[in-house]
Structure 1
Amino acid sequence: MKHYTFDDCLAIVRRLRSPNGCPWDNEQTLESVLKYFQEEVYEALDAADRRDWPGLTEELGDVLWEILFLARIAEQEDHFTMEAVLQILGEKMVRRHPHIFGDARIENSDQVLAQWSEIKKQEKKTATHAGVLTKVPGSLPALLRSYRLSERAASVGFDWENAGQVWAKVEEEKGELAAAMAAGDRAAVEHELGDLIFALVNLGRHLEINAEDAVRRAANRFVARFEAVEATYAGRGEKMADKTIAELEAEWQAAKKRVG
């Protein structure tokens, strides 16, 4: 069996995207590949959350394939090559780890993070000026984007001092949401719900919890428990739709004990 290397895979994507290559692959665009790329990243995250190591092996390969594909499209349009991507990556990682590849002395991970931040600041001084929040992609999932925006704002001192202060903000936003609901103002409800969720993202950040990860795992728990309830009723030859909410809640609590 042939053992494929990174260069082999790069050669494969270049052949598929050649004039005599695969018609379907040659029809793909930046937009279509970005859609697949996002899907593959989420599938890899799901496999990682489930500690499905064989699945994660395959999904990481799929993510890498989309990266190679995107680089090939860019190469064909004379923007950059995969080699340029790797060159920039290698230079960046070496530059940001002078305690490994240079003479800097570092004693703990806190010093590593401080050094990393300082090097990034120096890099930005040589780049075109941009606002603190500019580099946070608008295409990120909303919870992750909220986390990164808050993280960037905190880097210049725009932040609460501790989790207790953030909790007070959460309580404030809860009150404003309740008032909007009582008034029956749908636009205000949406506004205040967004503010409450944003505050909760910041509470998670102060507790060193990424809200995107927390909610994704909560959703995974919901799926596991729901499927356990479904399986229980299916095993009895019964249907969930025929049960009262009290009966469903009882089975739900039992499922929580079984699957966590």
Structure 2
Amino acid sequence: MSKISSRSQQLEAFDRLLTIMDELREQCPWDRKQTIESLRHLTIEETFELSDAILDADLEEVKKELGDILLHIVFYAKIGEEKGAFDIATVIESLCEKLIRRHPHIYGDTEANDDEAVKQNWEKIKLQEKGNKSVLGGVPRSLPALIKAMRIQEKARGVGFDWEDKAQVWEKVEEEMQEFKEAFDVTAPEDIDRERATGEFGDVLFSLINYARFVDINPEEALEKTNRKFIYRFQYLEEAAKKAGKNLGDMTLNEMDIFWNEAKKH
């Protein structure tokens, strides 16, 4: 593990990064060519790579990915400086001021005795700052649907719109599942009302995400772990079938289940 640097060493390292960014922007053809727009998709990719490292609990990789994201932040700030719009100092100062405003229980006289109170204060202050007409106005439109559902529910809870206990939420889950079942409980597939069934399935997912929040489970993280578990087991199945001289496409489901159950033991 790397040693923990002193504050002066941290500032020196950041200064070195800023100097390198200046040099690259001036001397490197690729770096000179980049714009805020061209960096956008790369930043998204780097964020997902950091997410992978976190899920893998690989701190060395987390360190590397944080470096990549920090480079992007410095890069955006450099372009902002060239445009006369902002620089890294104004970005940091703006962040510092926001943190102070949104933590009145630390820098003011507001009381917040637990993390839930802090989150509610944060959302209320954020709503006032942005001047949104809706509490949900600050949820990015392009968020993946599952994460968006989590943020919508968290923001609604921030102003007191929420269930009182998890039993109520589970009743809602069962209600939505029954409605979904009814939407698909027809004899002929062509008789299914696809639009209604799609809506009911969305309601099931939304209610399950709500319940996960009440029992302190991150549904996105839970689903990704299940994805990875399925990938591991399926790839084990592929490899086992190959070693047995078999082709998955020619195997019966019962034959594949033998290898699948073996994978579950590993």
> Which TM-score tier does this pair reach, normalised by the shorter chain?
0.7 to 0.9
231, 246, 251: which one aligns with 2:254: 246
User: Matches of residues 1-260 of structure 1 in structure 2 within 5 Å?
Assistant: 5-18=13-26, 21-96=27-102, 110-111=113-114, 113-115=116-118, 117-118=120-121, 121-122=124-125, 124-125=127-128, 128-181=131-184, 182=186, 183-258=191-266
For residue 104 of structure 1, report the CA deviation from its aligned partner: 6.5
Is residue 72–residue 82 contact of structure 1 (8 Å, CA) maintained in 2? yes
Normalised TM-score (structure 1): 0.83
Q: For 1:25 and 1:175, locate their aligned partners in 2 and report how far apart those are by CA, in whole Å.
A: 56
Show CA shifts across 1:84-126 (max 9, x none): 12112223334555676x58698xx843552564366356545
Number of corresponding residues: 251
Is residue 97–residue 116 contact of structure 1 (8 Å, CA) maintained in 2? no
Is residue 225–residue 252 contact of structure 1 (8 Å, CA) maintained in 2? yes
State the SS of the aligned residue for 2:161: coil
With over 3 angstroms needed to count, the CA separation of the structure-2 counterparts of 1:27 and 1:203, relative to structure 1, is same
Q: For 2:162 and 2:118, locate their aligned partners in 1 and report how far apart those are by CA, in whole Å.
A: 21
State the SS of the aligned residue for 2:135: coil
For residue 216 of structure 1, report the CA deviation from its aligned partner: 1.3
Identity over aligned pairs, percent? 38
Return 5+ residue gaps in structure 1 as ranges. none
With over 3 angstroms needed to count, the CA separation of the structure-2 counterparts of 1:133 and 1:7, relative to structure 1, is same
For residue 49 of structure 1, report the CA deviation from its aligned partner: 1.0
Show CA shifts across 1:139-166 (max 9, x none): 2221111101011112222222222222
With over 3 angstroms needed to count, the CA separation of the structure-2 counterparts of 1:51 and 1:244, relative to structure 1, is same
Normalised TM-score (structure 2): 0.81
State the SS of the aligned residue for 1:161: coil
Q: For 1:117 and 1:155, locate their aligned partners in 2 and report how far apart those are by CA, in whole Å.
A: 4
Return 5+ residue gaps in structure 2 as ranges. 1-9
Is residue 21–residue 75 contact of structure 2 (8 Å, CA) maintained in 1? yes
Is residue 177–residue 189 contact of structure 1 (8 Å, CA) maintained in 2? yes
Q: For 2:153 and 2:242, locate their aligned partners in 1 and report how far apart those are by CA, in whole Å.
A: 46
CA RMSD of aligned residues (A): 2.8
